[in-house]
Structure 1
Amino acid sequence: MEALQPYQVLGSPGQELFNDFVSVVAKLFDMPIALVSLVRAADVVFIGNAGLPEALVVNREDSMCSVAILNDGLTVFDDIVAEPCELVNPLVAQQMNLGFYAGQALRTPDGLAVGSLCVLDRQRRELSPAEGLLLKDLALVAQELLRLQAVRMADATLVAALRTRLDGPVQQTLTRLATLAELRQLAPPADTEEAQRYDDSRVDEARYLTQTIHRELLAAMAEVV
Protein backbone atom coordinates (compact mmCIF):
# COMPACT_ATOMS: atom_id res chain seq x y z
CA MET A 1 0.00 0.00 0.00
CA GLU A 2 2.89 2.37 0.72
CA ALA A 3 4.26 1.75 -2.77
CA LEU A 4 1.10 3.28 -4.24
CA GLN A 5 1.53 6.61 -2.47
CA PRO A 6 4.02 8.29 -4.86
CA TYR A 7 1.70 7.99 -7.83
CA GLN A 8 -0.17 11.23 -8.38
CA VAL A 9 -2.82 9.36 -10.37
CA LEU A 10 -3.92 7.46 -7.27
CA GLY A 11 -7.59 7.97 -6.63
CA SER A 12 -8.07 9.96 -9.85
CA PRO A 13 -9.72 7.75 -12.48
CA GLY A 14 -9.86 8.81 -16.10
CA GLN A 15 -6.39 10.27 -16.55
CA GLU A 16 -6.17 11.54 -20.12
CA LEU A 17 -2.72 10.14 -20.87
CA PHE A 18 -3.63 6.68 -19.58
CA ASN A 19 -6.98 6.76 -21.40
CA ASP A 20 -5.19 7.52 -24.67
CA PHE A 21 -2.73 4.70 -23.99
CA VAL A 22 -5.33 1.99 -23.29
CA SER A 23 -7.38 3.14 -26.27
CA VAL A 24 -4.39 2.28 -28.46
CA VAL A 25 -3.84 -0.99 -26.57
CA ALA A 26 -7.43 -2.09 -27.22
CA LYS A 27 -6.99 -1.42 -30.95
CA LEU A 28 -3.67 -3.27 -31.07
CA PHE A 29 -5.35 -6.39 -29.68
CA ASP A 30 -8.63 -5.83 -31.52
CA MET A 31 -10.48 -6.10 -28.21
CA PRO A 32 -13.31 -3.89 -26.91
CA ILE A 33 -11.80 -3.23 -23.46
CA ALA A 34 -8.34 -2.31 -22.15
CA LEU A 35 -7.54 -1.01 -18.68
CA VAL A 36 -4.72 0.22 -16.47
CA SER A 37 -5.57 -0.50 -12.85
CA LEU A 38 -4.16 0.29 -9.44
CA VAL A 39 -4.99 -2.26 -6.76
CA ARG A 40 -5.56 -0.65 -3.37
CA ALA A 41 -6.37 -2.12 0.03
CA ALA A 42 -10.12 -2.43 -0.50
CA ASP A 43 -10.74 -1.58 -4.15
CA VAL A 44 -9.35 -1.40 -7.66
CA VAL A 45 -9.33 1.93 -9.50
CA PHE A 46 -9.02 2.07 -13.28
CA ILE A 47 -6.87 5.08 -14.15
CA GLY A 48 -6.82 4.18 -17.84
CA ASN A 49 -10.12 3.04 -19.25
CA ALA A 50 -11.18 2.09 -22.76
CA GLY A 51 -14.53 0.37 -23.13
CA LEU A 52 -16.00 0.42 -19.60
CA PRO A 53 -18.01 3.07 -17.70
CA GLU A 54 -15.92 6.15 -16.95
CA ALA A 55 -14.31 6.52 -13.49
CA LEU A 56 -14.96 2.87 -12.71
CA VAL A 57 -13.94 1.66 -9.26
CA VAL A 58 -14.74 -1.88 -8.07
CA ASN A 59 -14.25 -3.80 -4.86
CA ARG A 60 -10.96 -5.67 -4.77
CA GLU A 61 -12.74 -9.00 -4.32
CA ASP A 62 -14.64 -8.36 -7.57
CA SER A 63 -11.67 -7.66 -9.85
CA MET A 64 -9.38 -10.10 -11.63
CA CYS A 65 -6.69 -7.42 -11.51
CA SER A 66 -6.30 -8.28 -7.82
CA VAL A 67 -5.29 -11.76 -9.00
CA ALA A 68 -3.01 -10.52 -11.78
CA ILE A 69 -0.75 -8.67 -9.32
CA LEU A 70 -0.02 -11.99 -7.57
CA ASN A 71 1.66 -13.46 -10.66
CA ASP A 72 5.05 -12.79 -12.23
CA GLY A 73 3.79 -13.70 -15.69
CA LEU A 74 0.53 -13.21 -17.51
CA THR A 75 -2.80 -13.95 -15.89
CA VAL A 76 -5.16 -15.31 -18.54
CA PHE A 77 -8.73 -16.58 -18.40
CA ASP A 78 -9.66 -17.82 -21.88
CA ASP A 79 -13.30 -18.51 -21.05
CA ILE A 80 -14.58 -16.64 -18.00
CA VAL A 81 -18.08 -18.09 -18.39
CA ALA A 82 -17.02 -21.74 -18.50
CA GLU A 83 -14.01 -21.42 -16.18
CA PRO A 84 -14.39 -18.34 -13.96
CA CYS A 85 -11.65 -17.11 -11.66
CA GLU A 86 -12.21 -18.81 -8.30
CA LEU A 87 -10.43 -16.05 -6.36
CA VAL A 88 -12.90 -13.28 -7.20
CA ASN A 89 -16.66 -12.83 -7.24
CA PRO A 90 -17.84 -14.30 -10.58
CA LEU A 91 -21.10 -12.32 -10.58
CA VAL A 92 -19.38 -9.07 -11.57
CA ALA A 93 -17.85 -10.59 -14.71
CA GLN A 94 -21.24 -12.07 -15.59
CA GLN A 95 -23.00 -8.74 -15.11
CA MET A 96 -20.41 -7.03 -17.32
CA ASN A 97 -20.77 -9.78 -19.94
CA LEU A 98 -17.06 -10.61 -19.94
CA GLY A 99 -15.74 -13.69 -21.71
CA PHE A 100 -11.96 -13.21 -21.70
CA TYR A 101 -9.31 -11.58 -19.49
CA ALA A 102 -5.54 -11.21 -19.85
CA GLY A 103 -3.50 -9.06 -17.49
CA GLN A 104 0.14 -8.32 -16.71
CA ALA A 105 1.17 -6.95 -13.32
CA LEU A 106 2.65 -3.45 -13.20
CA ARG A 107 5.60 -3.05 -10.84
CA THR A 108 7.46 -0.23 -9.15
CA PRO A 109 11.23 0.12 -9.72
CA ASP A 110 11.60 -1.91 -6.50
CA GLY A 111 9.60 -4.78 -7.98
CA LEU A 112 6.37 -4.33 -6.01
CA ALA A 113 3.19 -5.09 -7.94
CA VAL A 114 0.77 -2.16 -7.70
CA GLY A 115 -1.65 -2.74 -10.56
CA SER A 116 -2.07 -4.28 -13.97
CA LEU A 117 -2.47 -3.67 -17.67
CA CYS A 118 -5.26 -5.85 -19.00
CA VAL A 119 -7.32 -6.52 -22.11
CA LEU A 120 -10.82 -8.02 -22.07
CA ASP A 121 -13.28 -9.38 -24.58
CA ARG A 122 -17.00 -10.10 -24.53
CA GLN A 123 -16.42 -13.63 -25.82
CA ARG A 124 -14.04 -16.47 -25.13
CA ARG A 125 -10.66 -16.07 -26.78
CA GLU A 126 -7.13 -17.46 -26.80
CA LEU A 127 -4.04 -15.30 -26.46
CA SER A 128 -1.27 -16.38 -28.81
CA PRO A 129 2.34 -16.52 -27.52
CA ALA A 130 3.18 -13.49 -29.68
CA GLU A 131 0.23 -11.56 -28.23
CA GLY A 132 1.39 -12.53 -24.74
CA LEU A 133 4.81 -11.00 -25.42
CA LEU A 134 3.11 -7.91 -26.81
CA LEU A 135 1.07 -7.45 -23.64
CA LYS A 136 4.21 -7.79 -21.52
CA ASP A 137 5.99 -5.15 -23.63
CA LEU A 138 3.01 -2.81 -23.31
CA ALA A 139 3.05 -3.33 -19.55
CA LEU A 140 6.61 -1.94 -19.54
CA VAL A 141 5.27 1.17 -21.25
CA ALA A 142 2.51 1.45 -18.65
CA GLN A 143 5.11 1.18 -15.89
CA GLU A 144 7.04 4.08 -17.40
CA LEU A 145 3.84 6.13 -17.54
CA LEU A 146 3.35 5.43 -13.84
CA ARG A 147 6.96 6.37 -13.14
CA LEU A 148 6.40 9.59 -15.03
CA GLN A 149 3.63 10.41 -12.56
CA ALA A 150 5.64 9.34 -9.53
CA VAL A 151 8.56 11.64 -10.29
CA ARG A 152 6.18 14.54 -10.94
CA MET A 153 7.19 15.11 -14.53
CA ALA A 154 3.73 14.81 -16.11
CA ASP A 155 3.35 18.51 -16.86
CA ALA A 156 1.57 19.95 -19.89
CA THR A 157 4.85 20.53 -21.74
CA LEU A 158 5.98 16.92 -21.42
CA VAL A 159 2.60 15.51 -22.43
CA ALA A 160 2.47 17.83 -25.46
CA ALA A 161 5.99 16.76 -26.45
CA LEU A 162 5.02 13.10 -26.20
CA ARG A 163 1.99 13.65 -28.39
CA THR A 164 4.14 15.40 -30.99
CA ARG A 165 6.57 12.49 -31.00
CA LEU A 166 3.93 9.76 -31.09
CA ASP A 167 0.87 10.99 -33.00
CA GLY A 168 2.43 10.18 -36.37
CA PRO A 169 3.66 6.64 -35.57
CA VAL A 170 0.40 5.76 -33.75
CA GLN A 171 -1.80 6.87 -36.65
CA GLN A 172 0.41 5.08 -39.18
CA THR A 173 0.20 1.81 -37.27
CA LEU A 174 -3.55 2.06 -36.71
CA THR A 175 -4.02 2.69 -40.44
CA ARG A 176 -1.91 -0.36 -41.31
CA LEU A 177 -3.83 -2.48 -38.79
CA ALA A 178 -7.13 -1.38 -40.32
CA THR A 179 -5.84 -2.37 -43.76
CA LEU A 180 -4.64 -5.74 -42.47
CA ALA A 181 -8.04 -6.33 -40.84
CA GLU A 182 -9.79 -5.69 -44.16
CA LEU A 183 -7.44 -8.06 -45.98
CA ARG A 184 -7.85 -10.62 -43.21
CA GLN A 185 -11.60 -10.72 -43.83
CA LEU A 186 -10.90 -11.69 -47.44
CA ALA A 187 -8.45 -14.42 -46.41
CA PRO A 188 -9.30 -18.12 -46.08
CA PRO A 189 -10.36 -19.57 -42.68
CA ALA A 190 -8.22 -18.95 -39.61
CA ASP A 191 -6.40 -22.28 -39.74
CA THR A 192 -4.71 -21.58 -43.08
CA GLU A 193 -1.16 -20.32 -43.60
CA GLU A 194 -2.33 -17.20 -45.41
CA ALA A 195 -4.62 -16.20 -42.56
CA GLN A 196 -1.82 -16.85 -40.08
CA ARG A 197 0.46 -14.52 -42.03
CA TYR A 198 -2.05 -11.71 -41.63
CA ASP A 199 -2.29 -12.38 -37.90
CA ASP A 200 1.50 -12.43 -37.57
CA SER A 201 1.77 -9.16 -39.49
CA ARG A 202 -0.76 -7.53 -37.16
CA VAL A 203 1.22 -8.52 -34.06
CA ASP A 204 4.54 -7.48 -35.65
CA GLU A 205 3.10 -4.04 -36.46
CA ALA A 206 1.77 -3.71 -32.92
CA ARG A 207 5.11 -4.67 -31.38
CA TYR A 208 6.93 -2.16 -33.57
CA LEU A 209 4.65 0.61 -32.34
CA THR A 210 5.07 -0.54 -28.75
CA GLN A 211 8.85 -0.33 -29.04
CA THR A 212 8.52 3.13 -30.62
CA ILE A 213 6.30 4.40 -27.82
CA HIS A 214 8.64 3.01 -25.15
CA ARG A 215 11.71 4.54 -26.79
CA GLU A 216 10.14 7.97 -27.26
CA LEU A 217 8.73 7.97 -23.74
CA LEU A 218 12.17 7.28 -22.26
CA ALA A 219 13.72 9.96 -24.49
CA ALA A 220 11.17 12.59 -23.45
CA MET A 221 11.67 11.80 -19.76
CA ALA A 222 15.46 11.92 -20.13
CA GLU A 223 15.25 15.40 -21.60
CA VAL A 224 13.29 16.63 -18.59
CA VAL A 225 15.71 15.03 -16.13
Structure 2
Amino acid sequence: MISTKYPGLIPSYEHERLVALQPYQVMSTPGQELFNDFVSIVAKLFDMPIALVSLVRAEDVVFIGNKGLPEALVVDREDSMCSVAILNDGLTEFKDVAAEPCALVNPRVAQQMHLGFYAGQALRTPNGQAVGSLCIIDRRPRELTSLEGSLLKELALVAQELLRLQAAQAANPTLVPELRARLEGPVQQSLTRLTTLAELRQWESSADTDEAQRYVESRLDEARYLAQTLYRELQAALTHAGQ
Protein backbone atom coordinates (compact mmCIF):
# COMPACT_ATOMS: atom_id res chain seq x y z
CA MET A 1 0.00 0.00 0.00
CA ILE A 2 2.40 2.71 1.17
CA SER A 3 6.04 2.57 2.17
CA THR A 4 6.63 0.28 5.13
CA LYS A 5 9.19 2.82 6.32
CA TYR A 6 6.29 4.46 8.21
CA PRO A 7 4.11 1.49 9.29
CA GLY A 8 2.76 3.47 12.24
CA LEU A 9 0.60 5.46 9.81
CA ILE A 10 -1.62 2.48 9.08
CA PRO A 11 -4.07 1.71 11.90
CA SER A 12 -5.29 -1.80 12.62
CA TYR A 13 -8.80 -0.73 11.56
CA GLU A 14 -7.66 0.58 8.15
CA HIS A 15 -10.07 -1.61 6.16
CA GLU A 16 -13.07 -0.33 8.12
CA ARG A 17 -11.78 3.24 7.77
CA LEU A 18 -11.51 2.99 4.00
CA VAL A 19 -15.01 1.52 3.77
CA ALA A 20 -16.31 4.49 5.78
CA LEU A 21 -14.47 6.85 3.41
CA GLN A 22 -16.20 5.53 0.28
CA PRO A 23 -19.32 7.78 0.43
CA TYR A 24 -17.04 10.82 0.37
CA GLN A 25 -14.89 9.74 -2.59
CA VAL A 26 -17.13 11.82 -4.83
CA MET A 27 -15.39 14.79 -3.20
CA SER A 28 -11.90 13.58 -4.06
CA THR A 29 -11.38 16.34 -6.61
CA PRO A 30 -9.76 19.43 -5.10
CA GLY A 31 -11.37 22.81 -5.60
CA GLN A 32 -14.68 22.17 -3.87
CA GLU A 33 -16.16 25.67 -3.60
CA LEU A 34 -18.02 25.03 -0.36
CA PHE A 35 -14.93 23.69 1.40
CA ASN A 36 -12.69 26.41 -0.02
CA ASP A 37 -15.04 29.03 1.42
CA PHE A 38 -14.98 27.24 4.77
CA VAL A 39 -11.19 26.97 5.08
CA SER A 40 -10.84 30.63 4.06
CA ILE A 41 -12.97 31.47 7.10
CA VAL A 42 -10.93 29.11 9.30
CA ALA A 43 -7.65 30.71 8.20
CA LYS A 44 -9.05 34.15 9.01
CA LEU A 45 -10.29 33.07 12.44
CA PHE A 46 -6.83 31.86 13.44
CA ASP A 47 -4.89 34.49 11.48
CA MET A 48 -2.91 31.77 9.69
CA PRO A 49 -1.90 31.65 6.02
CA ILE A 50 -2.94 28.03 5.43
CA ALA A 51 -6.05 26.02 6.31
CA LEU A 52 -7.06 22.70 4.78
CA VAL A 53 -9.75 20.04 4.82
CA SER A 54 -8.23 16.72 3.84
CA LEU A 55 -9.38 13.23 3.00
CA VAL A 56 -6.85 10.52 3.82
CA ARG A 57 -7.16 7.80 1.21
CA ALA A 58 -5.38 4.45 0.93
CA GLU A 59 -2.19 5.83 -0.57
CA ASP A 60 -2.49 9.60 -0.60
CA VAL A 61 -4.04 12.67 0.99
CA VAL A 62 -6.22 14.98 -1.08
CA PHE A 63 -7.15 18.50 0.02
CA ILE A 64 -10.80 19.17 -0.83
CA GLY A 65 -10.68 22.52 0.93
CA ASN A 66 -7.55 24.53 0.33
CA LYS A 67 -6.52 27.98 1.50
CA GLY A 68 -2.90 28.98 1.00
CA LEU A 69 -1.38 25.99 -0.83
CA PRO A 70 -1.12 25.25 -4.59
CA GLU A 71 -4.37 24.21 -6.17
CA ALA A 72 -5.10 20.53 -6.86
CA LEU A 73 -2.60 19.49 -4.22
CA VAL A 74 -2.43 15.76 -3.58
CA VAL A 75 0.45 14.31 -1.55
CA ASP A 76 1.57 10.83 -0.67
CA ARG A 77 0.11 9.62 2.58
CA GLU A 78 3.57 9.22 4.11
CA ASP A 79 4.34 12.88 3.34
CA SER A 80 1.37 14.45 5.14
CA MET A 81 0.85 15.23 8.81
CA CYS A 82 -2.88 14.85 8.17
CA SER A 83 -2.14 11.11 8.06
CA VAL A 84 -1.10 11.43 11.69
CA ALA A 85 -4.05 13.61 12.72
CA ILE A 86 -6.53 10.84 11.86
CA LEU A 87 -4.82 8.53 14.36
CA ASN A 88 -5.61 10.75 17.34
CA ASP A 89 -8.83 11.45 19.21
CA GLY A 90 -7.70 14.90 20.28
CA LEU A 91 -5.75 17.72 18.70
CA THR A 92 -2.57 16.89 16.80
CA GLU A 93 -0.14 19.78 17.16
CA PHE A 94 3.45 20.31 16.02
CA LYS A 95 4.57 23.63 17.45
CA ASP A 96 7.89 23.80 15.60
CA VAL A 97 7.89 21.52 12.57
CA ALA A 98 11.51 22.26 11.66
CA ALA A 99 12.97 21.71 15.16
CA GLU A 100 10.71 18.80 16.13
CA PRO A 101 9.40 17.11 12.98
CA CYS A 102 6.83 14.35 13.12
CA ALA A 103 8.53 10.95 13.31
CA LEU A 104 5.62 9.14 11.64
CA VAL A 105 5.90 10.88 8.25
CA ASN A 106 8.58 11.91 5.81
CA PRO A 107 9.64 15.47 6.80
CA ARG A 108 10.75 16.34 3.25
CA VAL A 109 7.52 18.00 2.08
CA ALA A 110 7.17 20.15 5.21
CA GLN A 111 10.79 21.26 4.83
CA GLN A 112 10.41 22.08 1.15
CA MET A 113 7.28 24.14 1.86
CA HIS A 114 8.92 25.91 4.81
CA LEU A 115 6.16 24.94 7.23
CA GLY A 116 6.66 26.03 10.83
CA PHE A 117 3.49 24.95 12.64
CA TYR A 118 0.74 22.38 12.20
CA ALA A 119 -2.44 21.69 14.13
CA GLY A 120 -5.07 19.23 12.95
CA GLN A 121 -8.27 17.66 14.22
CA ALA A 122 -9.57 14.38 12.81
CA LEU A 123 -12.85 14.40 10.91
CA ARG A 124 -15.06 11.42 11.67
CA THR A 125 -18.03 9.77 10.03
CA PRO A 126 -21.21 9.20 12.06
CA ASN A 127 -19.90 5.73 13.01
CA GLY A 128 -16.69 7.22 14.39
CA GLN A 129 -14.17 6.39 11.65
CA ALA A 130 -11.58 9.09 10.93
CA VAL A 131 -11.55 9.87 7.21
CA GLY A 132 -9.67 13.16 7.10
CA SER A 133 -8.73 16.25 9.04
CA LEU A 134 -9.22 19.97 9.44
CA CYS A 135 -5.84 21.59 9.87
CA ILE A 136 -4.26 25.02 10.19
CA ILE A 137 -0.64 25.71 9.24
CA ASP A 138 1.74 28.61 9.75
CA ARG A 139 5.10 29.43 8.25
CA ARG A 140 6.56 30.08 11.69
CA PRO A 141 6.54 28.16 14.97
CA ARG A 142 3.66 28.96 17.30
CA GLU A 143 1.36 27.38 19.87
CA LEU A 144 -2.41 27.30 20.19
CA THR A 145 -3.97 28.45 23.42
CA SER A 146 -6.46 26.10 25.06
CA LEU A 147 -9.31 28.28 23.77
CA GLU A 148 -7.92 28.19 20.25
CA GLY A 149 -7.62 24.40 20.49
CA SER A 150 -11.26 24.19 21.54
CA LEU A 151 -12.24 26.44 18.64
CA LEU A 152 -10.47 24.18 16.14
CA LYS A 153 -12.35 21.18 17.56
CA GLU A 154 -15.66 23.03 17.15
CA LEU A 155 -14.77 23.91 13.58
CA ALA A 156 -13.89 20.28 12.91
CA LEU A 157 -17.48 19.41 13.86
CA VAL A 158 -18.60 21.92 11.24
CA ALA A 159 -16.31 20.29 8.67
CA GLN A 160 -17.79 16.89 9.50
CA GLU A 161 -21.28 18.19 8.80
CA LEU A 162 -20.02 19.72 5.55
CA LEU A 163 -18.80 16.29 4.49
CA ARG A 164 -22.23 14.83 5.23
CA LEU A 165 -23.95 17.68 3.40
CA GLN A 166 -21.79 17.34 0.32
CA ALA A 167 -22.46 13.60 0.18
CA ALA A 168 -26.21 14.21 0.61
CA GLN A 169 -26.23 16.78 -2.19
CA ALA A 170 -26.14 14.01 -4.79
CA ALA A 171 -29.77 13.27 -3.93
CA ASN A 172 -30.76 16.91 -3.39
CA PRO A 173 -28.79 19.42 -5.52
CA THR A 174 -30.48 22.41 -3.88
CA LEU A 175 -29.03 21.73 -0.42
CA VAL A 176 -25.75 23.60 -0.78
CA PRO A 177 -27.02 26.65 -2.72
CA GLU A 178 -29.83 27.16 -0.22
CA LEU A 179 -27.46 26.87 2.72
CA ARG A 180 -24.96 29.29 1.20
CA ALA A 181 -27.71 31.85 0.62
CA ARG A 182 -28.96 31.50 4.20
CA LEU A 183 -25.50 31.82 5.73
CA GLU A 184 -24.09 34.62 3.61
CA GLY A 185 -25.41 37.45 5.80
CA PRO A 186 -24.51 36.01 9.25
CA VAL A 187 -21.04 34.94 8.07
CA GLN A 188 -20.21 38.35 6.62
CA GLN A 189 -21.42 40.10 9.77
CA SER A 190 -19.18 37.92 11.95
CA LEU A 191 -16.18 38.37 9.67
CA THR A 192 -16.66 42.14 9.74
CA ARG A 193 -16.73 42.13 13.56
CA LEU A 194 -13.60 39.94 13.63
CA THR A 195 -11.78 42.36 11.34
CA THR A 196 -12.82 45.34 13.45
CA LEU A 197 -11.62 43.68 16.66
CA ALA A 198 -8.27 42.83 15.05
CA GLU A 199 -7.84 46.43 13.90
CA LEU A 200 -8.71 47.79 17.34
CA ARG A 201 -6.15 45.51 18.92
CA GLN A 202 -3.46 46.83 16.59
CA TRP A 203 -4.07 50.34 17.94
CA GLU A 204 -2.92 49.22 21.38
CA SER A 205 0.63 50.15 22.37
CA SER A 206 1.35 46.55 23.35
CA ALA A 207 -0.24 43.17 22.73
CA ASP A 208 0.01 42.55 26.49
CA THR A 209 -2.23 45.38 27.65
CA ASP A 210 -5.52 44.50 29.34
CA GLU A 211 -7.45 46.16 26.52
CA ALA A 212 -5.54 44.21 23.87
CA GLN A 213 -6.30 40.96 25.69
CA ARG A 214 -9.97 41.88 25.86
CA TYR A 215 -9.98 42.33 22.09
CA VAL A 216 -8.39 38.88 21.72
CA GLU A 217 -11.01 37.33 23.99
CA SER A 218 -13.82 39.11 22.16
CA ARG A 219 -12.45 37.87 18.85
CA LEU A 220 -12.41 34.28 20.11
CA ASP A 221 -15.96 34.66 21.43
CA GLU A 222 -17.07 35.89 18.01
CA ALA A 223 -15.24 33.04 16.29
CA ARG A 224 -16.95 30.48 18.53
CA TYR A 225 -20.31 32.11 17.86
CA LEU A 226 -19.68 31.79 14.12
CA ALA A 227 -18.64 28.14 14.47
CA GLN A 228 -21.77 27.35 16.46
CA THR A 229 -23.95 29.19 13.91
CA LEU A 230 -22.45 27.20 11.04
CA TYR A 231 -22.89 23.92 12.90
CA ARG A 232 -26.50 24.69 13.83
CA GLU A 233 -27.44 25.64 10.27
CA LEU A 234 -25.75 22.57 8.81
CA GLN A 235 -27.57 20.26 11.18
CA ALA A 236 -30.87 21.94 10.31
CA ALA A 237 -30.18 21.51 6.59
CA LEU A 238 -29.28 17.83 7.04
CA THR A 239 -32.34 17.19 9.18
CA HIS A 240 -34.54 18.84 6.55
CA ALA A 241 -32.94 16.60 3.93
CA GLY A 242 -33.69 13.54 6.04
CA GLN A 243 -30.05 12.78 6.82
Aligned partner of 1:149 in structure 2 is 166
What SS does the corresponding residue of 1:104 show, helix, strand or coil?
strand
How many positions carry a matched residue from both structures? 225
Kept in 2, the 8 Å contact 1:188–1:194? The answer is no
Aligned partner of 2:73 in structure 1 is 56
Superimposed CA distance per residue, residues 141-184 of structure 1 (whole angstroms, 9 cap, x where no aligned partner): 11111112333457442112111211111111111111111111
What SS does the corresponding residue of 1:145 show, helix, strand or coil?
helix
Aligned partner of 2:211 in structure 1 is 194
Percent identity between matched residues is 76
Further displaced range: 91-100 or 59-68: 91-100
Please say if 1:103 is aligned against 2:120: yes
Please say if 1:125 is aligned against 2:142: yes
CA distance in 1, matches of 2:199, 2:169: 42
Aligned partner of 2:56 in structure 1 is 39
Aligned pairs for 1:66-85 (under 5 A) are 66-85=83-102
Please say if 1:9 is aligned against 2:20: no
Further displaced range: 178-187 or 191-200: 191-200
CA distance in 1, matches of 2:169, 2:194: 34
Alignment RMSD (CA, Å): 1.4
TM-score (norm 2): 0.89
The one-letter code matched in structure 1 to 2:19 is E
Further displaced range: 32-41 or 80-89: 80-89
CA distance in 1, matches of 2:216, 2:186: 20
What SS does the corresponding residue of 1:79 show, helix, strand or coil?
coil
1:190 deviates by 2.7
CA distance in 1, matches of 2:171, 2:165: 6
1:31 deviates by 0.7
Unmatched 5+ residue regions in structure 2? 1-17
Please say if 1:183 is aligned against 2:196: no
CA distance in 1, matches of 2:170, 2:183: 18
Kept in 2, the 8 Å contact 1:34–1:118? The answer is yes
Kept in 1, the 8 Å contact 2:201–2:207? The answer is no
TM-score (norm 1): 0.95
1:174 to 191, 204, 223: 191
Kept in 1, the 8 Å contact 2:86–2:121? The answer is yes
Further displaced range: 9-18 or 200-209: 9-18
Aligned pairs for 1:87-102 (under 5 A) are 87-102=104-119
CA distance in 1, matches of 2:23, 2:212: 46
Kept in 2, the 8 Å contact 1:43–1:58? The answer is yes
The one-letter code matched in structure 2 to 1:224 is A
Further displaced range: 4-13 or 178-187: 4-13
CA distance in 1, matches of 2:211, 2:93: 27
Superimposed CA distance per residue, residues 94-131 of structure 1 (whole angstroms, 9 cap, x where no aligned partner): 11111111100001111111100001111111101111
The one-letter code matched in structure 2 to 1:56 is L
